[in-house]
A and B are shown apart, each in its own frame.
Chain A
Amino acid sequence: MGKLIRSAIVMLLLMTVITGVAYPLAVTGLAQVLFPSQANGSLIVKDGRPIGSSLMGQSFDDPRYFWGRPSATTPQPNNGTSSTGSNLGPTNPALTDAAKQRIDALHAADPGNAAPIPVDLVTASGSGLDPDISLAAADYQAARVARARGLSTSQVKAMVTMATTGRQFGVLGEPRVNVLKLNLALDGR
């Protein structure tokens, strides 16, 4: 039994060196060489400084900006150090209340818009950091943003198209609009 335990301890140490040290270092080395931008957080860099990550949603509630997915992180929305969804069940009244508040906020920012609101604008994302909205959600907001910025709707829609990604390889996932990239473009950055 003593010999078995010694073998087990040495095996655990050896396996830790292989899978816990050599393997992650090898992946880090290769990833840093092959995919340096992706491996370091897909940062958007302006004048040598990171001004955001194209994968990380930020929070917007100004009518001049496109709004992203509602975020359930605390204490502030889109908190990068505390990812989480709302974990509200489908029949929980708190879920319906939250949706109503978001609908009211969207209506208050755009009183004349009577179109039904795309569901992704009134439901919290899974990570609380979703960088994207659906094409429908961008369409819904385009006129409001154009009005608030004194632009034509077609100008804004052209910028939406620039920030749009289709299904990957034409089949995977969903077409979507990157909210941070779009808003940075609107600000001329």
Chain B
Amino acid sequence: MTPFDIFQVVLFLGVLLALVKPVGAYMALAFADTTNGVNRVGGKVERVLYRLAGVRADEQMSWRRYAIAMLVFNLLGVFAVYALQRLQQWLPLNPQHFGALTPDLAMNTAISFASNTNWQAYGGESTMSYLTQMLGLAVQNFLSAATGIAVLLAVIRGFTRRSADSVGNFWVDMTRCTLYVLVPFSLVIALLLSSQGVVQNFKNYVDVPLVQNTTAVETVKDAAGNTVKDAQGKDVTRSSTVTTQTLPMGPAASQIAIKQLGTNGGGFFNANSAHPFENPTPFSNFIEMLAIFLIPAGLCYTFGSMVGDRRQGWAILATMLLIFVPLAFGAIAAEQAGNPALHGLAVDQQASALQAGGNMEGKETRFGIAASGLFATVTTAASCGAVNAMHDSLTPLGGLVPMWLMQLGEVIFGGVGSGLYGMLAFAVVAVFIAGLMVGRTPEYLGKKIEAHEMKMASLAVLVPCALVVICTAIAVMTPAGVAGIANPGAHGFSEVLYAVTSAANNNGSAFGGLSANTPFWNVLLAVCMWLSRFLLAVAMLAMAGSLAAKRHVPPSAGTLPTHTPLFVTLLACVVIVVGALTFLPALALGPIAEFLMSVR
């Protein structure tokens, strides 16, 4: 690694940590019921919205009612996005005249965006109208993020309320999160991105003349759509001269801001944040990485503040960093080492003052190795899934890091809200294990952890694991699953494992070689995304409901303190052990096998 590689990571972490307290404290104010500077201004807007929707803001919901409101709201979002995709050819703001999507692709995309996954089996600039992007996809970017944070707030109230039968009001939590956090933050980020060159307009695509003409080579297809083969069995191709380049346009900056901030990750363009119009400069890249971690990191502080002990929030954040930092450096080191397959050729992969060197396949020159490797770990530690380099072309170990970060359950920062409530499930498991060791009833944040809480926490921890393992097995045993694989050997298995891992942990990034726009993949991954997102959310709400009903237990001499380095280490070990034990066999067949073969 070069000094610049290391410095860029340190700078990123430094800026992030400096923002944790202000952002976290602001969010605590934004979500609070008491009057303060934030809701004094926005309270009027809030009240208008509640009146129009017939919502009573002072209604306190049981966990069941909270869960039902959350599910109904998200299901409606799925229907809306599905309808927009199926009807876009008749709707306005479609300058390129894109047609309707197939039912399976539209269903997959609708669930993908509602579940905060943003798995994309389509290319934005060749599929989606401006209207579908802004009115369907971008709206779900906001609302799925707000949903995640709302569920987290309910879970936190489970710890803070005593002998209560309610966990808050879903409509109020969702509205405050959108109005006070997501929209204003996105506006600032969108303008910063726009200043760097991210497009933001409603114009038609622009044709520019090429400086040097180029050649398009297309395979010839017969009337049935099959490729025509010549006598030697090779595809027949037709060449034509291309004299212009068509530049895509659209309201991209506004959507990309929330795509990063809400840990959604769905690109406006197919190449996502590798696209020069989606991520034009190293500074836009820095902003986009920061936006991914901003809310998940800030929420740790908000959590500590809400439970009345900020050390609890810092301890969670420390656990996340303890796992994240070594993996980030590991991924960058693996990419900087380059691709052994090119060693015998007349290629210079050595880093120098004149080039980044390393494994540049699938990477952009302006980002080089450090800004690509760091982005890959940030986007998979959080459940964002935006990419600024093609993960399919990462080195075996460089690709293992993002895959494993997702497999850890998206709790190392994780999705907005969902990452922290996932980590709280792991914390419950950790105090339970500690309780077993010393033979005491475990407690966390002043609440006794009993059988019901353990069941719900185990569900939250094990559902994504089970989905990944089972659905990967289904995919590799099914001809329709294997048909999508692009790369040979162990890497082909990695493509399948990565896709299912990404969907079942609501990340959304891909080893993009996999041809996933088939009915088989669209359905399988939609099932993974939906179950993982909402089974987990409902399980955590059920835990919140039962915790809220409990009395507060004052800490005694036998209580395990949960803000100490000891607990941070224990929690990190639990996360790692679950992730390692579950996935080591699968990883051995994919990236580890590929690594061993590449260095032989």
Residues of A within 8 A of B (CB): 1, 3-12, 14-16, 18-21, 23-24, 26-28, 30-32, 34-35, 38-43, 50-53, 55-62, 65, 69, 74-93, 95-96, 99-100, 103, 107, 114-120, 122-137, 139, 167-169, 171-176, 180, 183-184, 187
B153-185 interface code vs A (CB 8 A; 1 in, 0 out): 000000000000000000100110011001100
A120 proximity list for chain B (CB < 8 A): 355-356, 360, 365
6 pairs of A and B residues whose beta carbons are closest in the complex: A173-B282, A126-B274, A85-B390, A87-B513, A89-B491, A174-B368
B341 proximity list for chain A (CB < 8 A): 90-91, 95-96
> Can you show 9 pairs from A to B with CB atoms below 8 A apart?
A11-B73, A12-B76, A23-B186, A23-B187, A61-B212, A77-B214, A126-B363, A127-B275, A174-B356
- With A28-B202, A82-B126, A174-B367 as known contacts, state yes or no: A136 contacts B76, CB within 8 Å: no
A58 proximity list for chain B (CB < 8 A): 210-212, 214, 245
Q: A30-B194, A92-B491 are in contact. List 12 more A-B contacts (CB 8 A).
A: A16-B135, A19-B178, A76-B242, A83-B269, A83-B271, A89-B513, A118-B354, A119-B349, A129-B271, A132-B366, A137-B355, A171-B7
Q: Whole-angstrom distance between the alpha carbons of A85 and B387 in the complex?
A: 11
How distant is B359 from chain A, measured CB to nearest CB, in Å?
7
How distant is A186 from chain B, measured CB to nearest CB, in Å?
10
Residues of B70-114 contacting chain A, CB below 8 A = 72-73, 76-77, 80
B111-129 interface code vs A (CB 8 A; 1 in, 0 out): 0000000000001011000
Whether A173 lies near B366 (C-beta < 8 A) is: yes
| Best-buried of A24, A69, A128 by chain B (most CB within 10 Å) | A24
Whether B54 lies near A82 (C-beta < 8 A) is: no
- With A90-B341, A90-B396, A116-B347 as known contacts, state yes or no: A80 contacts B246, CB within 8 Å: yes
Cβ-based interface call for B305 (8 A): no
How distant is A30 from chain B, measured CB to nearest CB, in Å?
6
Cβ-based interface call for B338 (8 A): yes
Among B136-144, B403-411, B419-427, B530-538, the one that faces the other chain is B136-144
A23 proximity list for chain B (CB < 8 A): 183, 186-187, 254
- With A52-B245, A129-B276 as known contacts, state yes or no: A119 contacts B360, CB within 8 Å: yes
Q: Whole-angstrom distance between the alpha carbons of A112 and B33 in the complex?
A: 75
Contact of B194 among A35, A90, A107 (CB under 8 A): A35
Contact of A86 among B196, B215, B362 (CB under 8 A): B362
Whether A83 lies near B346 (C-beta < 8 A) is: no
- With A27-B200, A136-B352 as known contacts, state yes or no: A86 contacts B361, CB within 8 Å: yes
B342 proximity list for chain A (CB < 8 A): 96, 99, 119, 122
Whether B362 lies near A81 (C-beta < 8 A) is: no
| Best-buried of A12, A126, A167, A187 by chain B (most CB within 10 Å) | A126
Contact of B282 among A19, A92, A174 (CB under 8 A): A174
- Could you count the A-B residue pairs with CB atoms below 8 Å apart for me: how many are there? 404
- With A80-B245, A85-B393 as known contacts, state yes or no: A38 contacts B367, CB within 8 Å: no
B174 proximity list for chain A (CB < 8 A): 11
- With A12-B80, A14-B52, A172-B285 as known contacts, state yes or no: A78 contacts B276, CB within 8 Å: no
Cβ-based interface call for B434 (8 A): no
Residues of B within 8 A of A (CB): 4, 7-8, 11, 49, 52-55, 68-69, 72-73, 76-77, 80, 123, 125-126, 134-136, 138-139, 142-143, 171, 174-175, 178-179, 182-183, 186-187, 190-191, 194-203, 205-206, 208-212, 214-218, 242, 245-249, 251, 253-255, 257-258, 269-271, 274-277, 280-283, 285-286, 338-339, 341-342, 345-349, 352-368, 371-372, 387-390, 392-396, 486-492, 494, 511-513, 594, 597-598
B248 proximity list for chain A (CB < 8 A): 80-81
Whether B361 lies near A12 (C-beta < 8 A) is: no
Across the two chains, which residue of chain B brings its CB closest to A122?
B347
A118 proximity list for chain B (CB < 8 A): 347-348, 354-355
Whether B364 lies near A38 (C-beta < 8 A) is: no
Whether B218 lies near A75 (C-beta < 8 A) is: yes
Whether A134 lies near B354 (C-beta < 8 A) is: yes
Whether A86 lies near B276 (C-beta < 8 A) is: no
Q: Whole-angstrom distance between the alpha carbons of A170 and B98 in the complex?
A: 43
Whether A134 lies near B365 (C-beta < 8 A) is: yes
Q: Whole-angstrom distance between the alpha carbons of A160 and B220 in the complex?
A: 41
Q: Whole-angstrom distance between the alpha carbons of A92 and B392 in the complex?
A: 11
- With A19-B139, A87-B390 as known contacts, state yes or no: A126 contacts B282, CB within 8 Å: no
Across the two chains, which residue of chain B brings its CB closest to A139?
B354
